[in-house]
């Protein structure tokens, strides 16, 4: 990136400079490696760097090929990730102009309306000119990227439903006055919030692939380090970012390699049985827990540059994949993540 572009854009805190919060950072990286994991819900205390960490991820995102001037970031090679207009051009053997751009990171404001999120149909143009005039929303911009919702637990439940349905199906459909328009909307949904301000409904929480819990750092030396880093960044963001440019580049390249290696990673049958055994013993409803744990373990293995999943890989990801799927017991004293780890040790022993 040139100095000119660096100065013009708003500097982002470097991901590799963030102290602690390893659980959240790992969950975010694994979802970039395999978007089918299903997103991340980050819950924790105020002022713990949730938003800073999520937004810092944008620097690490690899490039992708898109059809030029297409509002949906259409993939020129995948019919499931292209708009109907692009698909028609390919069908009619028209030449597509291809360009490369960064995987997008889209912020969804807390007060966003459904029209702003899903897009709107211009009925006047549709009726007078006989064409489907569609004004794309945030879901169109987020296709093949990341959609970030800060304070997702304060978002209207109906909008959360819309986001989760689109994230699960990979498509967004807008219907109005008998006119229906669909477009691809496959994105990684990342939500953050403070549990003191309210929890998500269990059926909505279950739809997030992973759940990271963030706690305020207690160690005085780490707290001082975090404060000093923030002060250094605020004082001279460009210089601060330059100090971490090498580590940022290394991590970004590692993510790109992991995405390529992912399809070669093997999770043996015995481990798959044990993962399902853990889900069964924890009374996890449905099969999402099994599927996400399998995917996350493979993504971690690819991130480590290996092609064979180990028990340790599963141990590292399984609390992130299952803790939010456990049935709440108000009398329970053990942390949900620790409960998952205890059952893991019992079954894998």
Active site members: 288
3-state secondary structure of 174: strand
Nearest to 138 by CA among 102, 175, 111: 111
Residues 6+ apart with CB under 8 A from 206: 285, 286, 288, 324, 325
3-state secondary structure of 261: helix
Considering Cα of 50, then 56, then 58, then 61, what sign does the dihedral take? negative
- Structure tokens belonging to residue 110: 């807390």
3-state secondary structure of 242: helix
- Residues 325, 340 contacting (CB under 8 angstroms): no
Considering Cα of 240, then 241, then 246, then 250, what sign does the dihedral take? positive
Question: Strand 98-102 to strand 188-193: parallel, antiparallel, or no bridges (unpaired)?
Answer: unpaired
Question: Strand 188-193 to strand 40-44: parallel, antiparallel, or no bridges (unpaired)?
Answer: parallel
């Amino acid at each position: 990136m040139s100095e000119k572009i660096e100065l013009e854009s708003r500097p982002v805190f470097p991901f590799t400079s963030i102290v602690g919060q390893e659980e959240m950072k790992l969950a975010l990286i694994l979802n970039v490696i395999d978007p089918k994991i299903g997103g991340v819900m980050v819950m924790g205390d105020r002022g713990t760097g949730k938003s800073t960490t999520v937004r810092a991820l944008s620097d690490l995102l690899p490039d992708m090929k898109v059809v030029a001037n297409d509002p949906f970031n259409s993939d020129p090679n995948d019919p499931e990730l292209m708009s109907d207009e692009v698909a028609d051009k390919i069908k009619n053997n028209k030449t597509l102009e291809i360009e490369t751009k960064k995987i997008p990171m889209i912020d969804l404001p807390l007060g966003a309306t459904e029209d702003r999120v899903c897009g709107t149909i211009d009925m006047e143009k549709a009726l007078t000119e006989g064409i489907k005039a569609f004004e794309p929303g945030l879901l169109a911009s987020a296709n093949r990227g990341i959609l970030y919702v800060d304070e997702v637990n304060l978002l209207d439940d109906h909008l959360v439903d819309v986001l989760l349905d689109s994230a699960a199906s990979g498509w967004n459909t807008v219907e109005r006055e008998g006119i229906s328009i669909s477009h691809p909307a496959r994105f990684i949904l990342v939500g953050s919030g403070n549990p003191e301000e309210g929890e998500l409904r269990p059926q909505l929480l279950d739809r997030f692939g992973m759940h990271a819990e963030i706690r305020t750092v207690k160690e005085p030396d780490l707290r001082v380090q975090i404060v000093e880093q923030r002060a250094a960044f605020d004082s001279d963001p460009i210089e601060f970012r330059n100090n971490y440019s090498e580590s940022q580049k290394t991590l970004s390249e590692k993510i790109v390699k992991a995405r390529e290696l992912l399809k070669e990673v093997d999770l043996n049958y015995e481990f798959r049985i044990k993962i399902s055994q853990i889900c069964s013993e924890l009374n996890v409803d449905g099969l999402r827990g099994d599927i996400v744990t399998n995917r996350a373990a493979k993504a971690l293995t690819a991130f480590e540059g290996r092609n064979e999943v180990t028990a340790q890989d599963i141990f590292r990801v399984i609390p992130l994949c299952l803790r939010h799927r456990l049935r709440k017991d108000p009398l329970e004293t053990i942390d949900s993540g620790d409960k998952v780890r205890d059952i893991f040790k019992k079954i894998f022993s």
